[in-house]
């Protein structure tokens, strides 16, 4: 099952529409790894590792661990906390250490932050992203709908990516999300 790495962006802040347009371009039977534009893979093996997770869990939506995201998404935060350290080498070493671990997952039962979402075209066809005309809440609402309808969401415990996520201001700053 091939994987397509995409980083959709909407200057009009209609993220759901932008996600749906990207997913429409993915061939049937394939998966997309959708990432925020302010994320970074820290090792050259990260795409291969994500492919192994897809091969192991083809019918699940996948996310991963990161350094920064809303504190409400604790299952996606490495060690459960927002990390203020801007040193990319520090974070690269975390990614390298986690890559050495056996492939493991943690089930998400509430919602996810969409900084990284691996989704099959098959799941997307059943559950397209909500087109709300805004950025905030698209990933939360979508993942809640998936869980309510029995779709499994896993956090890949061997995959760690860097997420700037308001590092230059503060975690609560949402000014960049307004049109």
Taking 60 as the threshold, does the pLDDT of residue 172 lie above it? no
Q: What length does the chain have? A: 179
| Residue 175 belongs to a domain | no
Q: Could you tell me which residue, 134 or 126, shows the higher pLDDT? A: 126
Name residue 155's beta-bridge partners: 63, 106
Distance CA 20, CA 109 (A): 23
Q: What is the CATH number of the domain that holds 59?
A: 3.90.550.10
| Structural domains counted in the chain | 1
Q: What's the Cα-to-Cα distance from 162 to each of 18, 26, 63, 112, 147, rounded to whole Å?
A: 22, 25, 13, 16, 26
Q: Determine the 3-state secondary structure of 107 from DSSP.
A: strand
Place of tokens 């604790």: 74
Distance CA 179, CA 176 (A): 8
**What is the Cα 73 distance to its own chain's centre?**
11
User: Domain range spanning residue 103?
Assistant: 3-166
Q: What's the Cα-to-Cα distance from 66 to each of 41, 80, 82, 136, 176, rounded to whole Å?
A: 10, 10, 9, 19, 20
Taking 90 as the threshold, does the pLDDT of residue 11 lie above it? no
Task: Label residue 170 by pLDDT band (50, 70, 90).
Answer: low
| Residue 172 belongs to a domain | no
Structure tokens, 98: 């986690």
| Residue 171 belongs to a domain | no
- For residue range 112-126, list pLDDT tens digits in order: 999 999 999 999 999
| Residue 62 belongs to a domain | yes
């Amino acid at each position: 099952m091939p994987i397509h790495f995409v980083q959709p962006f909407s200057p009009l802040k209609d993220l759901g529409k932008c996600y749906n347009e990207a997913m429409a371009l993915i061939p049937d039977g394939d998966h997309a790894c959708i990432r925020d534009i302010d994320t970074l893979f820290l090792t050259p093996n990260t795409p291969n590792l994500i492919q192994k997770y897809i091969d192991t869990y083809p019918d699940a939506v996948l996310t991963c661990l990161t350094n920064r995201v809303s504190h409400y998404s604790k299952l996606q935060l490495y060690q459960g906390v927002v990390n203020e350290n801007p040193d990319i080498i520090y974070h690269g070493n975390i990614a390298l250490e986690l890559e050495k671990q056996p492939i493991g997952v943690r089930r998400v039962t509430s919602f996810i932050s969409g900084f990284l979402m691996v989704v099959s075209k098959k799941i997307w066809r059943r559950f397209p992203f909500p087109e709300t005309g805004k950025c905030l809440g698209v990933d939360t609402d979508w993942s809640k709908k998936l869980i309510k309808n029995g779709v499994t969401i896993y956090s890949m415990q061997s995959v760690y990516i860097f997420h700037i996520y308001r590092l230059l201001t503060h975690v609560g700053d949402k000014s960049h999300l307004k049109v």
